[in-house]
Amino acid sequence: MVRVVSLLLTLLTGFSGLVYEVAWQKYLATLLGSHSEATAAVLAIFLGGMAAGYEVFGRVTRALVARASALGEAPALLHMYGLVESGIGVWALAFPWLFGAVQRISFWIPPGHEAISFSFDVLLCALLLVPPTVLMGGTIPVLTQALSRTAAESTRVHAWIYATNTAGAFAGALAGGFVLVPWLGLDGVLRAMGVVNLSAGVSFLATAAD
């Protein structure tokens, strides 16, 4: 039952992840512009953060499993996963305020210094996107280890989680751009998706506490 619920929640969080990407791209276009270089910079930060999160959380998860095994205990990975999802939700809810602060900071570079200004704005975008995308990247390795009973089983579990997450992401990319942003606006979309991730996080924390 835990696996079924986990996969359903993974579908929802995959959905929210791509809605975030659509919304953040629109936010950050006001800083960087909508030209190809700006779009490429935002996409690189988004994907780079997720890749880094996958690597970092993969290592941390393996270390936790090894330590728990040595102590004869079960690793608290569902609890960890709940905290990661909750962190994504909190960041999404705080994002409009954080973006407003970054907008004000971006004016520190005076007009007439295009290259410096663009580089500074890319750095500011990285400060906004790296924390949540690192957490997003960490979700799959943590949940894979949490739901796998054996090392041999982890390959199949990983495939199910990845497929479910990707299906949600596909739906989120379509809904975010064509339905949710026009309907709710950028701030409203982040509030709605933040609630999704927070709800998923709380659900996993409650499961871990049982």
For residue range 67-103, what is the model confidence (pLDDT) as tens digits? 988 888 888 899 999 999 999 999 999 999 999 999 9
Give the pLDDT of residue 16.
97
Distance CA 182, CA 171 (A): 16
What number of other Cβ atoms are within 10 A of residue 151's Cβ?
A: 9
pLDDT value, residue 55: 96
Other CB atoms within a 10 A radius of the CB of residue 171 amount to 16
Angle at 13 between CA 11 and CA 15, to 5 degrees: 70
Surface-to-core class of residue 74, CB atoms within 10 Å of its CB (0-12 exposed, 13-18 middle, 19+ buried): exposed
> Which pLDDT score is estimated for 210?
63
* Distance between CA atoms of residues 6 and 142, nearest Å: 12
* Total domains in the fold of the chain: 1
Q: Note the pLDDT of residue 1.
A: 67
Q: Are 138 and 54 in contact (CB under 8 A)?
A: yes
Residues composing the chain: 210
- DSSP letter for 34, please: S
- pLDDT at residue 110, as a whole number: 73
Q: Which domain holds residue 59?
A: 2-209
List, for the chain, all residue ranges whose pLDDT scores fall below the cut of 70: 1, 112, 209-210
Q: What is the CATH number of the domain that holds 37?
A: 1.20.1250
pLDDT value at residue 109: 78
> For position 75, what pLDDT does the model report?
83
